[in-house]
Structure 1
Amino acid sequence: MSVVPLLLTARVGLQYTPAVALDDLGIRVVRTWLRDTWGAWSREHRDVVVVASGLSAVQERCVLAHELEHVLADDTDCGGYIASIRQERRADIEAARKLVAISDLAEVAQWAPDIQSAAHELHVTERMLQVRLNDLKGEGWPWRPLGGSRIAG
């Protein structure tokens, strides 16, 4: 399963459709009731991404983007706590980079009064938009507290 053609033809931002990218890789999306997560992928069952039923279209788009990043990285099952956190953080950041193009963010930042409005316009969850803003260090972007990230300063 080569990802090179996928990467060369990938679209980002509002045109990014992780469901199509998963389909191009031959990975089925299965919707079912999940107890404590919105999505999952496992090396053991490489050809399936499981998504919680009942999610909104925006939530599902973000979950699929996140799980696709696990697929592309060929992540191992979360054996250790630290490895698990690193894999989840990387999947979030890479998904956010594809879901929220800087050009789309710059356009929405000119008029959106708050992060809820911006996330709605960008077709992402508020959490995924926050991940993208944190990735960009929040410099010059609205909806961020002064001083940037509490972790990074």
Structure 2
Amino acid sequence: MSKTLLLPSAHAGLNYDPVAVLEELGITIVRTWLRDTWGAWSREHRSVVIATGLSTVQERCVLAHELEHALAEDEGCGNQLTALRQERRADREAARKLIAISDLAEVAQWATDLFTAAAELRVTERLLEVRLNDLRGEGWPWRRPGGSRIAG
């Protein structure tokens, strides 16, 4: 059984709070300047390092992504293929938790573009694209033909 099913704060969609889940798991959040990334999971230190200067939405998405690495107990990736798979899985699982289908369906009734929908759902455009691609051709508006070109 997934660890998140045991956590009372593990709601999906707009109410999903990755900070609360990280705290319940005893995982420390460290905010610092980062050069090449927005966040990282350290299994050794049981902490998530996140870049300072991110917007609230960016931080929420990064923390959800890094939380998925923690839940999967991912280690540092020496193999590029393994790293790519872990990044894609973390994005997909974070997007599923951040964007409930009910919230997506409600926003799809009025939002005219991806940017507006992402803002309303409090996620980055990229994570919204990940979620739409995960739903594979369900006819959602704003889904770009061919899906996202960003891996990881």
Deviation of residue 26 (structure 1)? 0.7
CA distance in 1, matches of 2:37, 2:10: 27
Indicate yes or no: 2:6 matched with 1:5: yes
Q: Which amino acid is the alignment partner of residue 105 of structure 2?
A: A
Secondary structure of the structure 2 residue equivalent to 1:88? helix
Secondary structure of the structure 2 residue equivalent to 1:64? helix
CA distance in 1, matches of 2:78, 2:49: 19
**2:17 corresponding residue in structure 1:** 17
Indicate yes or no: 2:147 matched with 1:149: yes
Q: Which amino acid is the alignment partner of residue 137 of structure 1?
A: R
**2:138 corresponding residue in structure 1:** 139
Indicate yes or no: 2:73 matched with 1:74: yes
CA displacement, residues 54-78 of structure 1 (integer Å, 9 cap, x when unaligned): 0000000000000000000001111
Q: Which amino acid is the alignment partner of residue 113 of structure 2?
A: D
Secondary structure of the structure 1 residue equivalent to 2:48? strand
**1:55 corresponding residue in structure 2:** 54
Q: Which runs of 5+ in 1 are unaligned?
A: none
CA RMSD of aligned residues (A): 1.7
Structure 1 length as normaliser, TM-score?
Answer: 0.90
Equivalent residue pairs, number = 147
Which range is displaced more, 103-112 or 133-142? 133-142
Structure 2 length as normaliser, TM-score?
Answer: 0.91
Taking structure 1 as reference, are residues 9 and 53 closer, same or farther at Cα in structure 2, changes over 3 Å only? Answer: closer
Q: Which amino acid is the alignment partner of residue 6 of structure 2?
A: P
Secondary structure of the structure 1 residue equivalent to 2:29? strand
**2:38 corresponding residue in structure 1:** 38
**2:118 corresponding residue in structure 1:** 119
